[in-house]
């Protein structure tokens, strides 16, 4: 399975689970583009990933973790643990964008926020989303 098709599976599953129609995505993206994403016929950009994540009330990191989980067959929690170990290993090297700004301990509640059984309330979910979006910002 390709990353494109894994992302398509995850996006479609989350949208269906939340009972959101493609038409209700009009504020985030066109139905045509969303259909191409869900059909595995188009790749997502970082800007669209952010917009779709906001519409789904998830962090972009959640969508990426679930996509990689679907693609590689590893549990999302295992991928999050790997992420934490790799970022902590990069921290002493310095000079990497965002690494010096990470809280200590790195991400104590991230696994639950990403793949927990209970979704946080809307206000805390939006606050968490803003936090994770800041961590995922890229500079040119």
The structure's pTM equals 0.67
Burial 82-112 (b: 16+ CB within 10 A, else e): ebbeebeeeeeeeeeeeeeeeeeeebeebbe
Q: How many CA atoms lie within 13 A of 41 on its CB side?
A: 7
pLDDT in tens, 42-59: 999 999 999 999 999 999
What are the helix (H) ranges across the chain?
Answer: 3-17, 31-38, 46-56, 60-72, 76-90, 110-115, 122-135
The domains of the chain, with CATH numbers, are: 3-135 (1.10.260.40)
For residues 106 and 86, give the distance between their C-alpha atoms in angstroms, rounded to a whole number.
Answer: 11
Give the pLDDT confidence of 7-52 residue by residue, as tens digits: 999 999 999 999 999 999 888 899 999 999 999 999 999 999 999 9
């Amino acid at each position: 399975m390709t990353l494109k098709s894994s992302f398509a599976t995850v996006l479609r599953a989350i949208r269906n689970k939340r009972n959101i129609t493609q038409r209700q995505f009009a504020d985030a993206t066109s139905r045509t583009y969303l259909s191409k994403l869900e059909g595995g016929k188009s790749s997502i950009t970082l800007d669209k990933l952010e917009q779709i994540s906001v519409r789904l009330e998830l962090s972009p990191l959640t969508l990426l973790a679930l996509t990689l989980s679907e693609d590689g067959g590893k549990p999302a929690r295992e991928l999050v643990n790997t992420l934490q170990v790799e970022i902590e290993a990069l921290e002493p090297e310095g000079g990497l964008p965002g690494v010096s700004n990470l809280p200590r301990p790195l991400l104590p509640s991230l696994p639950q926020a990403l793949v927990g059984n209970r979704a946080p309330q809307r206000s805390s979910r939006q606050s968490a989303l803003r936090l994770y979006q800041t961590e995922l910002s890229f500079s040119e």
